[in-house]
Amino acid sequence: MQYLEKKFDLPALDGISQKSVEEHLGLYEGYVKNFNGMIALMGKLMADPEENAHALSELERRLSFEFGGMRLHELYFAQWKGGAREISGGSLKTTLEKQYGSFGQVIAFMKNVGLMRGPGWALLYFDPEAKIFHMGFSGEQHRGHFVTLPVILALDVWEHAYILDCGAQGKGKYIDAFFKNLNWGVMEKRFDKASSQ
């Protein structure tokens, strides 16, 4: 079993350079390769699980890190596909407004989560069962998730996402650029799928 790297046909972004996006896509591809390589290696080591117990347990421990890096970056890059588009007045917007008071508050809260210290992701989830959103910070990419909940919006706040364009102190500037370039049609589709579960 192998995962295939996804290709993203992205438009020029405002405030995030093509070079930064290219390097970032290279990191994403690394996660896919590492995940595939680790799965293959584990298959070989399983020929003698007792002899290879330490190596296997270390690989098992790292596996969700690589998977998180793969899947979250796929969510992240897809959000810019098709070019910037504001949110429509559809069900995602009205449901967010109902919970957070205004769409502006949603963005403000997400920025706040994104500005937390340490490498990780600011994530907006939707709980289809309770019909409510949750926002959270996933440390690195495998810690602190709201398990089982679909991700509606994924904001990468690892330093590699902004250091080239904005410098080490430029996380806030990068987060503004991230939001400016979003195609909200992508998140609306995710929400429609999540809310029909």
- Nearest to Fe ion of 75, 92 (CB atom): 75
- Nearest to Fe ion of 66, 156 (CB atom): 156
Strand partners, 121: 138, 156
Residues that bind Fe ion (CB under 5 A): 156, 158
* Six token digits for residue 154: 């994924």
Give 82-110 as a DSSP string.
T--B---SSHHHHHHHHHHSSHHHHHHHH
In whole angstroms, how close is the CB of 161 to Fe ion at the nearest point? Answer: 5
In whole angstroms, how close is the CB of 61 to Fe ion at the nearest point? Answer: 21
- C-alpha to C-alpha distance for 1 and 160, rounded to whole angstroms: 29
- Nearest to Fe ion of 107, 157 (CB atom): 157
- Nearest to Fe ion of 96, 186 (CB atom): 186
What residues contact 81, with CB distance under 8 A and at least 6 apart? 8, 9, 10, 183, 186
- Nearest to Fe ion of 24, 190 (CB atom): 24
Q: Which of 148, 119, 120 is nearest to 136 (CA)?
A: 120
In whole angstroms, how close is the CB of 68 to Fe ion at the nearest point? Answer: 11
Q: Which of 83, 69, 91, 84 is nearest to 158 (CA)?
A: 69
Three-state SS at 154: strand
In whole angstroms, how close is the CB of 27 to Fe ion at the nearest point? Answer: 6
Residue nearest to Fe ion (CB): 156
In whole angstroms, how close is the CB of 99 to Fe ion at the nearest point? Answer: 28
- C-alpha to C-alpha distance for 146 and 114, rounded to whole angstroms: 16
